[in-house]
């Protein structure tokens, strides 16, 4: 019991510590809170300073993502952003289309080598549309085997970790060989999410309360339709849809603190998921999985560059759009700083939040499309 309490304590407090380190400037700019949280979880599972309960880590990651996605979405103003961000939307569409093609092609070649490939492909496409948070949500919805989730998560952390190093080092020069330079003209985005004001605990608690209500309503509707609450796909889609619907309320959008609260739950999710990324296991059992993920990521990157060139998307927009799609909002500032273009941070955050909103639909949709196509 003492080790479980210690594990929960790490998951709850590492996010706060990582934010404090970043705020005080004690870590380099490329080391974002999300990276710190992931790395801490990975180090714990790798070196085992205390016994790690995988079931507990998986359960807490699920709770974290169930709370994070609604809270991050409440403050969004999606209709406003979609009216003005035409080029950013095009970049996001290219990112999503590239992921669809890359993951689908990889799934075709690996269909006889990996069990549940259609589910795994759907989870991976959720990642390439809205970040790792969507992998967890899609995995819950598709009721993926625990062993496959662990292997996929470790393979994704490994490959995307290498790609992140590339994005923060030589990617700006490399992609410049194929794409035009950024012209310095950004879209007239006024607000995707409300301007951050003073954090209000009352509003944060309202957001948590609303999230609990939405989860309960989603469970209730699922039970009324199916007579049980085991239909995870429907449950997750209901949760996602109701959260987006709540964001249309001006009152809810103006609650101050819901985004930051959602960010905290997202970082806690990162610590818990990091505890599931056991590289020892993937070295022993996951050769096919890591090859599949590396193939899918490479194909996705290749298609993104080709389509961005065809549609005249500039180098910086492509990099930030892809960062937002694959890694989500927490990593946008890190990459934007590395390529020397902070003008696109807001737009990148916007696209990352849009990915959060759409990634579950995309991942689940691709999974069932591949199930029909491949079997």
User: Considering the chain, what percentage of its residues have pLDDT values greater than 90?
Assistant: 27
Q: Where is average pLDDT lowest: 130-139, 189-198, 258-267, 336-345?
A: 189-198
Question: What's the whole-number average pLDDT of the chain?
Answer: 84
Task: Find the mean pLDDT for residues 237-261.
Answer: 86
Distance CA(76)–CA(255), nearest Å, equals 11
> Strand, coil or helix: what is 193?
strand
**What is the structure's pLDDT at 234?**
77
**What is the structure's pLDDT at 304?**
95
Residue 187 has pLDDT above 60, yes or no: no
Q: Which residue has the higher pLDDT, 198 or 224?
A: 224
Return the number of other C-beta atoms located less than 10 Å from residue 174's C-beta.
14
Residue 285 has pLDDT above 80, yes or no: no
Q: How many residues does the chain have?
A: 375
Distance CA(155)–CA(289), nearest Å, equals 7
Q: Which residue has the higher pLDDT, 264 or 80?
A: 264
Q: How confident is the model at residue 200 (pLDDT cuts 50, 70, 90)?
A: confident
Residue 330 has pLDDT above 70, yes or no: no
Q: How confident is the model at residue 189 (pLDDT cuts 50, 70, 90)?
A: very low
User: Considering the chain, what percentage of its residues have pLDDT values greater than 70?
Assistant: 88
Task: Find the mean pLDDT for residues 260-288.
Answer: 80
Q: Which residue has the higher pLDDT, 87 or 293?
A: 293
| 99 and 340 Cβ atoms separated by less than 8 Å | no
User: At CA 250, angle to CA 247 and CA 252, rounded to 5?
Assistant: 60
| 134 and 355 Cβ atoms separated by less than 8 Å | yes
Tens of pLDDT, residues 241-252:
888 889 888 899
Residue 167 has pLDDT above 70, yes or no: yes
Residue 193 has pLDDT above 80, yes or no: no
Return the sign of the alpha-carbon dihedral for residues 309, 314, 319, 325.
Answer: negative
**What is the structure's pLDDT at 194?**
46
**What is the structure's pLDDT at 192?**
45
Q: How confident is the model at residue 186 (pLDDT cuts 50, 70, 90)?
A: very low
Tens of pLDDT, residues 17-69:
998 988 888 877 667 787 788 889 888 988 888 888 888 998 898 888 788 87
Task: Find the mean pLDDT for residues 86-99.
Answer: 87
Residue 78 has pLDDT above 70, yes or no: no
Q: Which two tokens stand for residue 136?
A: 């967890």
Q: Which residue has the higher pLDDT, 185 or 200?
A: 200
Give the HSE-up count for residue 51: Cα atoms under 13 Å, Cβ half-sphere.
6
Residue 373 has pLDDT above 70, yes or no: yes
Q: Which of 172, 163, 188 is nearest to 301 (CA)?
A: 163
Q: Which residue has the higher pLDDT, 343 or 151?
A: 151
Q: Which residue has the higher pLDDT, 131 or 125?
A: 125
pTM of the predicted protein model? 0.73
Q: How confident is the model at residue 366 (pLDDT cuts 50, 70, 90)?
A: very high
């Amino acid at each position: 019991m003492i080790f479980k309490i210690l594990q929960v304590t790490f998951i709850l407090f590492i996010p706060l510590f990582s934010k404090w380190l970043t705020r005080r400037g004690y870590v380099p700019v490329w080391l974002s809170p999300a990276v710190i949280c992931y790395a801490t979880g990975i180090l714990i599972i790798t070196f085992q300073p205390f016994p790690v309960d995988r079931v507990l880590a998986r359960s807490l990651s699920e709770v974290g993502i169930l709370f994070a996605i609604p809270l991050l979405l409440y403050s969004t103003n999606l209709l406003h952003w979609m009216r003005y961000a035409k080029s950013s939307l095009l970049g996001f569409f290219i990112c999503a289309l590239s992921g669809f093609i890359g993951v689908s092609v990889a799934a075709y070649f690996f269909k006889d080598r990996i069990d549940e490939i259609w589910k795994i492909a759907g989870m991976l496409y959720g990642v390439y549309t809205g970040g790792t948070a969507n992998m967890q949500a899609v995995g819950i919805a598709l009721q993926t085997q625990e062993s496959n989730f662990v292997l996929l998560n470790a393979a994704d952390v490994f490959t995307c970790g290498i790609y992140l190093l590339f994005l923060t080092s030589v990617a700006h020069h490399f992609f410049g060989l194929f794409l035009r330079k950024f012209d310095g003209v950004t879209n007239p985005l006024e607000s995707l999410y409300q301007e951050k004001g003073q954090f209000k605990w009352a509003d944060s608690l309202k957001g948590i309360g609303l999230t609990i209500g939405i989860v309960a309503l989603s469970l209730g509707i699922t039970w009324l339709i199916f007579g049980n609450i085991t239909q995870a796909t429907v449950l997750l889609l209901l949760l996602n849809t109701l959260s987006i619907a709540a964001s249309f309320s001006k009152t809810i959008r103006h609650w101050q603190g819901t985004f930051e609260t959602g960010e905290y739950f997202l970082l806690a999710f990162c610590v818990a998921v990091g505890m599931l990324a056991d590289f020892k296991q993937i070295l022993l059992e996951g050769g096919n999985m890591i090859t599949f993920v590396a193939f899918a990521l490479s194909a996705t990157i290749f298609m993104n560059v080709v389509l961005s060139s065809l549609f005249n998307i500039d180098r910086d927009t492509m990099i930030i759009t892809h960062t937002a799609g694959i890694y989500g909002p927490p990593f946008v500032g890190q990459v934007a700083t590395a390529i020397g273009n902070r003008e696109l941070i807001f737009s990148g955050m916007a696209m990352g939040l849009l990915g959060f909103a759409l990634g579950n639909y995309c991942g689940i949709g691709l999974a069932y499309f591949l199930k029909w196509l491949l079997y």
